[in-house]
């Protein structure tokens, strides 16, 4: 995938953008947006510049101007690697959709890969692999023949699964993440795949995991159906979601991540051919100095 340009490619435009960031950091949001517009006059094709100007307008309370900037970013990059369509949804300027743009998820994690482990574990107190493995062990299944780690990232979940699996497969949408996972040396096979469109061989796996993955998937009907196909009878499906306590099945949050309700998860497991073995609430990480509550779930295919 071609990466999205972090720089405008114009030295003067980049300088103006840097000054805009200084103003923004100082709380002068409207002035920052005005200066960023000057940068974009010099580099009108700069996707991330338009996206960032939208964020500056948003912080200043100018939502119409923010939406206009994000719409421009989306026109310049219809694949939407910046995730502008999600911002438009959040400010009510675009209809809600049930999944994020795949190009946004791929670009996000390609960018995040070099600092992923340090940021997630050391700074944000990420606990999902630990919590999932404890829940899996609590079901009385000590070992697995073939396990599939969906959205494997750099291999934090795989590192814990490796000692109890004869064959461990990982898949991820990000090539940069897969490179990190390969270097960890815990997977027997790695494949690049988008969970919105992936397929699993029928009845091949006896464990499928998805650690902190579904927040970047949205609606889970298709993924659950594919996992049900890929698992053998009696196989386990272990995953986490960000917890949502509202009346809807799921919600796109300001973080541009999806949270899912317990009722939705329970109902979807039941309709997809699973029996619930474990469901518990836990703090799964920190975000912006606040705990993020999630659901830790283990189900068995019947």
244-288 residue pLDDT tens: 999 999 999 999 999 999 999 999 999 999 999 999 999 999 988
28-82 residue pLDDT tens: 999 999 999 999 999 999 999 999 999 999 999 999 999 999 999 999 999 999 9
Under 8 Å between Cβ of 258 and 292 = no
Q: What is the mean pLDDT of residues 118-138?
A: 91
Common-topology check for domains 11-97 and 113-301: no
User: Residue 2 pLDDT > 70, yes or no?
Assistant: no
pTM here?
0.94
Class of domain 11-97: mainly alpha
Under 8 Å between Cβ of 170 and 189 = yes
195-208 residue pLDDT tens: 999 999 999 999 99
Domain boundaries, the chain: 11-97, 113-301
First to last CA, the chain: 39
Give me the architecture of the 113-301 domain, per CATH: 3-Layer(aba) Sandwich (3.40)
Per DSSP, the three-state class of 277 is: strand
Q: How many CB atoms lie within 10 A of CB 11?
A: 10
Give the pLDDT of residue 1. 57
């Amino acid at each position: 995938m071609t990466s999205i340009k972090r720089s405008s490619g114009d030295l003067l435009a980049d300088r103006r953008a840097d000054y805009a960031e200084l103003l923004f950091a100082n709380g002068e949001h409207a002035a920052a947006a005005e200066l960023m517009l000057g940068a974009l006059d010099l580099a009108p094709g700069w996707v991330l510049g338009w996206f960032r100007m939208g964020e500056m307008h948003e912080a200043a309370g100018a939502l119409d101007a923010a939406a206009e900037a994000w719409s421009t970013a989306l026109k310049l990059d219809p694949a939407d690697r910046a995730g502008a369509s999600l911002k438009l949804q959040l400010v009510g300027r675009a209809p809600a959709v049930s999944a994020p743009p795949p190009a946004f998820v791929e670009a996000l994690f390609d960018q995040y890969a070099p600092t992923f482990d340090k940021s997630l574990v050391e700074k944000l107190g990420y606990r999902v692999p630990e919590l999932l493995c404890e829940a899996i062990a609590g079901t009385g299944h000590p070992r697995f023949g073939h396990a599939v780690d969906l959205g494997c990232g750099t291999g934090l979940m795989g590192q814990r699964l490796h000692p109890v699996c004869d064959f461990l497969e990982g898949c991820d949408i990000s090539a940069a993440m897969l490179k990190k996972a390969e270097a960890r040396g815990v997977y027997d096979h790695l494949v690049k795949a988008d969970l919105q469109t992936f397929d699993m061989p029928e009845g091949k796996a006896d464990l499928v995991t998805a650690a902190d993955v579904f927040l970047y998937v949205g609606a889970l009907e298709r993924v659950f159906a594919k996992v049900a196909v890929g698992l053998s009878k009696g196989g386990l499906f272990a995953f986490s979601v960000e917890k949502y306590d509202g009346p809807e099945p799921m919600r796109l949050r300001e973080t541009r991540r999806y949270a899912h309700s317990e009722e939705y998860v329970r109902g979807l497991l039941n309709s997809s051919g699973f029996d619930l073995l474990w469901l518990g609430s836990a703090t799964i990480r920190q975000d912006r100095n606040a705990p993020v509550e999630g659901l830790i779930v283990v189900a068995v295919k019947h």
